[in-house]
Amino acid sequence: MEIFRRPSLVRRLVVLAAGWSLAALLISALVMVLLFQQSALRRFNQNLAELVDNLVAGSTLKADGSVVAPALTDLRALRAYSGKYWQIARPAEHGQIRIVERSRSLWDSELPTPKDLISRLNAHPGVPVSYDTRGPLSEPLRALASQVRLPDSRIPLIFIVGEDRRDLDRDIRRFTTATAIILLALGAGLVGAVVIQVQVGLTPLFALRREIAEVRGGKSDHILGTYPSELTPLAEELNA
């Protein structure tokens, strides 16, 4: 198109306006996806925290120091490899932990924990630690660990719960895809609107160019059109 030949005022205006619009849309999309991801993770962690609270509330210590966990915390925790797991551990030497009780869903497996879990729990007493790990079937898990001292217990216990996060990740991907499609369509519409706006806005300038060409070609002896205040002095000077 002729309007996009270099050098071109139209091209410059379109590129600048479209560039700023698309950059604003891209930043908005990133912020929206990040906020959704944080909100989804926050809700997921809250569900895990409720399971930890139920586990702590139902756990007791025997006279010999062994831990008795509640019979029922979640139905999925009763099915082997169901995707929802819990385990109770004691701190061991060198920052390790020793499992003393686990959910039936874990069967004979254990939930992997970060090497620095004990130090992270000790650094902020009473504050749960969330992290990502893998389940017995290598499924991605979101886990939450909390260190609690039960009554008549000299050594704190570490309550760890984990849940399959594939549904969470799927929701985040769907939201990201939907946001990208909507903003791409909006961006295309904005670019089209910018092109139309620039062409309409510069219509008087194109008309003045045609009239100058007619004067130069002898078809008219002066400029007759009425132009905006920005172009009126130029038209008057050309007529003079």
What would the pLDDT profile of 99-156 be if each residue is shown by its tens digit? 889 988 898 899 999 989 999 998 888 899 999 999 999 999 999 999 998 887 788 8
Whether 218 is covered by a domain: the verdict is yes
Q: Is the dihedral of CA 107, 71, 98, 122 positive or negative?
A: positive
Long-range CB pairs of 42-46 (<8 Å, 24+ gap) are: 44/142, 44/163, 44/165, 44/168, 45/128, 45/130, 45/142, 45/144
Q: Which of 77-86, 137-146, 197-206, 215-224 has the highest mean pLDDT?
A: 137-146
Give the rounded percent of residues in the chain with a pLDDT score beyond 70.
90
> Is 187 within 8 Å of 205 (Cβ atoms)?
no
Q: Which domain holds residue 25?
A: 2-32+172-239
Helix (H, G, I), strand (E, B) or coil at 87: strand
**Phi, psi (rounded to 5 degrees) for 61:** -110, 135
List the CATH number of the domain containing 104.
Answer: 3.30.450
User: Do 7 and 50 belong together in one domain?
Assistant: no
Residues 81 and 102 in one domain: yes
Q: Are residues 25 and 85 in the same domain?
A: no
196, pLDDT greater than 50: yes
Tally the domains of the chain. 2
The separation between CA 120 and the C-alpha centre of its own chain, rounded to angstroms, equals: 25
Write the DSSP symbol of residue 75. G
Nearest to residue 14, comparing CAs of 3, 24, 29, 25? 3
Q: What is the pTM of this model?
A: 0.73
Surface-to-core class of residue 181, CB atoms within 10 Å of its CB (0-12 exposed, 13-18 middle, 19+ buried): exposed
CA distance 72 to 53: 13
